[in-house]
Structure 1
Amino acid sequence: MELHEINDKFIIPLPEAFDTNANLGYLTRAKDECMYEIEDGIITKVIAIGEIRSLVRISIIENKQMLIQFINDSRPTKARHLEEIVKYISEWFDLDNDLTSFYDMAKADPLLKLPARKFFGLRIIGIPDLFEALCWGVLGQQINLPFAYSLKKQFVEKFGDSIEWSGKKYWIFPTCERIAQLTPADFADIKMTVKKSEYLIGIAGLMASGELSKEKLAKMNFKDAEKNLIKIRGIGPWTANYVLMRCLRFSEAFPIDDVGLINAIKTLQNMDRKPTKEEILAFSIPWRNWESYATFYLWRTLY
């Protein structure tokens, strides 16, 4: 991606199908979100690339450009680190994905036509860091979204690092190396099950050793990546597909048993019962290779 710098701000051009309000609306939906702050439409976040920690402010101009400003003297000195940060932001907002064929399909689809029109320009807001994505997937298992955000906040503030600027702390997600060295007893004051703490420690160990990595999964096809994740303790089909959707960007990832997906379909179809798995599969036939976006837009109808 070609970068331009003007007055200490770097400019990322935005795709045509990008809407500031749709994306900020998604990002501000949870009051306990601890990984970034949004104020007056400006996102402030620490982006960690290896040992480099950069505090950035992201603003969006007329749905056309994203302006990146480094604050607190955190601008990287090496060009490759700057490129990694821009790549992270592009991945976070899925900027390199052409959504034309998704919208062409959605406008004729009985379930997607209204969400696609209402939230046009919404990208799948990703989680570019694999360890963070896996932890979020595990933390969110079988609990409601507000409680999941509360757990993540406790986890990050107990085990993560932070950068302080202008009287506020901006958090960095805990590293797999740190979590791999913990025991379930270290999680005692976080309101999660012992099983979940064991899962997080186990996943951290696999990542710290290099046995599990984003690079390795990215080289696989979807089915192989899904199988590799499901064989890990604590990761079932839902978590695997969630991570493959939001981190690895597999467009066919489809957490079909997701409660939110089920409830969205039930509501949009005015059903007096939950749709069966067979019914969801039938609805999803036109979504082929866009299952992840279909799911994300259906989720968005719920809040």
Structure 2
Amino acid sequence: MDGSIIAVKPPYSFERLLKRLETHPDPQMQVEAEARMIRRVFRVGQRPVVAALHFTGDVEQPAITWRTDAALTASEKMALEATIRHMFSVDVDLEPLYRHMRQDDVLRPLTERFRGLRFLLDADLFQSMVRTIIGQQVNLPFAAALTRRLLELAGEKLQDDQGRTYFAFPTAEAVARLEPAELRPLQFSQRKAEYIIDFARAVVDGRVDLDSLWRMEDEEIFAYLTPLRGIGRWTVECLMMFGMGRPDLLPAADIGLRNGIQLVYSLPGKPDEQEIRRIGESWAPWRSYVSLYVWEAVGAVKRKEDQNA
């Protein structure tokens, strides 16, 4: 067994994370809410391992204790911990964001209602892009169902010592070996199946170097990825937000963001992209995070949360 305790920069709300997972399900996670625990498969190099994450403390004194039954080398332990820190955004300082949002009378209530909410990021950029393509023009539950079917088709199956079954997200090599006809019975559209497999093959044959994205500015990433089939501006924005954790993206074409801005700003109708960009200018340099809090306002309505929850 291996593991350690990760100090989290406060505030951090595990309860708000759980609420968000209700409307944004992640088929890779097994959640034990009462135990404040999440179990998941993580890749350490190319090796999948099951780890349990226990969220301790409270919003103002949070920590994450992780454990795995896998025998890890020192470098593997460091890599796994780095992935956990990235995924759960543990080093993000929310106070500058809250100071910024409190200057706006409309946004100020969100800083208290959703205090401690952070991005739950994807574990790696290949997974993030595939999940984003899957999510194009479909609702969240159906996107989660498609993701699970891909995991079961091409991912590795693991069991822990309690007999619980987990699926590792498939590697680029595993997806590249698929044909669209194998995804069609799983309710993938022809184009969505082609886009996912094309992207995987581009990664495998070196036409796309995902590691290089970390060294690029936002506009360079757009220029690098949008020539690929099925990858437009919204898709790249989501990759940078949910895969890379970049703080200042505004996915103005997102229907959920349109709904959220209409709700939060009490607009008579849904704003168009131009109006969203106008409103979002005042959110910089935290447009990704303000978008997250606006999305969460919509999620809270869907979950029928009490306004004071």
TM-score of the superposition, structure 2-length normalised? 0.90
**1:235 equivalent among 231, 237, 247:** 231
**Taking structure 1 as reference, are residues 98 and 214 closer, same or farther at Cα in structure 2, changes over 3 Å only?**
farther
**2:190 equivalent among 178, 194, 198:** 194
Conserved? CA contact 1:111–1:265, under 8 Å: no
1:12 aligns with 2:6: yes
1:150 aligns with 2:166: no
Offset of 1:116 from its aligned partner?
A: 2.1
Query: Per the alignment, in what secondary structure is the counterpart of residue 23 of structure 2?
Result: coil
1:29 aligns with 2:20: no
Offset of 1:210 from its aligned partner?
A: 2.9
Code of the residue aligned with 1:21 in structure 2: it is E
Matches within 5 A, 1:282-301: 282-301=278-297
Query: Per the alignment, in what secondary structure is the counterpart of residue 284 of structure 1?
Result: helix
Query: Per the alignment, in what secondary structure is the counterpart of residue 15 of structure 1?
Result: coil
Q: CA RMSD, aligned part only?
A: 1.6
**2:157 equivalent among 142, 162, 168:** 162
Q: Which moved more, 1:256-265 or 1:54-63?
A: 54-63
Matches within 5 A, 1:131-280: 131-165=126-160, 166-280=162-276
Conserved? CA contact 1:28–1:38, under 8 Å: no
Q: Which moved more, 1:240-249 or 1:47-56?
A: 47-56
Q: Which moved more, 1:106-115 or 1:246-255?
A: 106-115
CA distance in 1 between counterparts of 2:139 and 2:22 reads 17
CA distance in 1 between counterparts of 2:8 and 2:42 reads 20
CA distance in 1 between counterparts of 2:156 and 2:2 reads 26
Aligned to 2:31: 38
Query: Per the alignment, in what secondary structure is the counterpart of residue 48 of structure 2?
Result: strand
Offset of 1:278 from its aligned partner?
A: 2.4
Unpaired runs of 5+ in structure 2?
A: 300-309
Offset of 1:157 from its aligned partner?
A: 1.1
Q: Which moved more, 1:171-180 or 1:263-272?
A: 263-272
Conserved? CA contact 1:125–1:246, under 8 Å: yes
TM-score of the superposition, structure 1-length normalised? 0.92
Conserved? CA contact 2:250–2:277, under 8 Å: no
**Taking structure 1 as reference, are residues 101 and 194 closer, same or farther at Cα in structure 2, changes over 3 Å only?**
same
Q: Which moved more, 1:265-274 or 1:168-177?
A: 265-274
Conserved? CA contact 2:101–2:111, under 8 Å: yes
Unpaired runs of 5+ in structure 1?
A: 1-6
CA distance in 1 between counterparts of 2:100 and 2:112 reads 12
CA distance in 2 between counterparts of 1:256 and 1:282 reads 10
Query: Per the alignment, in what secondary structure is the counterpart of residue 60 of structure 1?
Result: strand
Q: Which moved more, 1:85-94 or 1:155-164?
A: 155-164
Query: Per the alignment, in what secondary structure is the counterpart of residue 251 of structure 1?
Result: coil
CA distance in 1 between counterparts of 2:290 and 2:120 reads 13
CA distance in 2 between counterparts of 1:158 and 1:225 reads 30
Tell me the number of residue pairs that the alignment of Structure 1 and Structure 2 aligns.
293
Offset of 1:115 from its aligned partner?
A: 2.1
Query: Per the alignment, in what secondary structure is the counterpart of residue 23 of structure 1?
Result: helix
1:59 aligns with 2:54: yes
Aligned to 1:3: none
